[in-house]
Structure 1
Amino acid sequence: MGKYGVVMNFTCMEMRDGKQSENASCSPEGLVRKVNMATKTAGTELAGENVLERYDAGTYSQVLTTSRSDSENGLSAFTYLRMNKRWFETENWKHLVDFMRNMSEGGRHTKLPKSDLSKTDLSIGFLTLKSARKTKEAALA
């Protein structure tokens, strides 16, 4: 794999061992660690994706954790599957933006600022009641 520049794309990056049924006798976190070590041994990169449709901060936190490997073979990319209109709901969107900022900046930022003074390509708008009225008036004009 490493010889040909193959990138291994693996799923379940957001899953936690503690959230699995005891009857399942499984360890998604352990499986991800094993795949990570195998890709390191093979000299190839590991990319990841989610398996579940979830939008909460805990899910994104788990992806961040799995993306920063102890084996120094962190994720080279992450694909979010099952994007739909729920992704753009206010709280879900805030969690997503925090997650993207953390992924792109190595986890140095944990909170989204009120304004983007660093001039990154990532932005989110916060509407105040006053600006929301102006926007509504502009939309009606």
Structure 2
Amino acid sequence: MEMKDREQPDDANCSPEGLVHQVKTATRIAGAELAGENALERYDRDAYAQVLLTSHSDSGNGLAAFTFLRLNKRLFDANNWRQLVEFVRSMSEGGRRQRLSDSDSQGSDLYVGHIKEIQ
């Protein structure tokens, strides 16, 4: 769900966006709910934006569930974590929220700073 056609090599002759469209069409016709997951270890805005784009539907068959794969140490790097928080917030708010502020002046529980090891 995070892949774009333009990111694929020409000789691969594939269309991840086309595949998602076909599956969305099939679930709509069948009256089934659509769930998805990411395939690659990516923590960038472009990948999250693509998932947000494919999660919506004007015909009423948007995503009912999304599984985020690749929960590992790299995810918790400061910038990667910030990108994930933005993504989760956007998914939960129907894609209306575009970006978190650079500083957390409102005391939300979404900011994760460095945790000092207790000895």
TM-score (norm 1): 0.74
Match of 2:88 in 1: 100
Gap regions ≥5 residues in structure 1: 1-12, 128-134
Quick one: which of 46, 65, 90 aligns to 2:78? 90
TM-score (norm 2): 0.87
* Shift in Å, 1:139: 4.9
Calculate percent identity across the aligned residue pairs: 54
Give the root-mean-square deviation of aligned CA atoms: 2.3
Asked if structure 2 preserves the Cα contact closer than 8 Å seen for 1:50 and 1:79, the reply is yes
1:115 aligns with 2:104: yes
Instruction: Please tell me the residue identity of whatever aligns with 1:107.
Output: G
1:33 aligns with 2:25: no
Aligned length: 118
2:74 & 2:67 partners in 1: Cα distance? 17
Q: 1:22 to 1:87 in 2, by over 3 A?
A: same
Quick one: which of 68, 91, 110 aligns to 1:80? 68
1:57 & 1:35 partners in 2: Cα distance? 24
2:105 & 2:24 partners in 1: Cα distance? 34
2:79 & 2:106 partners in 1: Cα distance? 22
Match of 2:40 in 1: 52
110-119 or 67-76, larger mean C-alpha shift = 110-119
2:26 & 2:18 partners in 1: Cα distance? 12
Match of 1:21 in 2: 9
Query: Which runs of structure 1 show a deviation greater than 4 angstroms over 4 or more consecutive aligned residues?
Result: 116-119
The structure whose Rg is larger is: 1
Q: 1:107 to 1:18 in 2, by over 3 A?
A: same
1:116 & 1:38 partners in 2: Cα distance? 45
Q: 1:78 to 1:116 in 2, by over 3 A?
A: farther
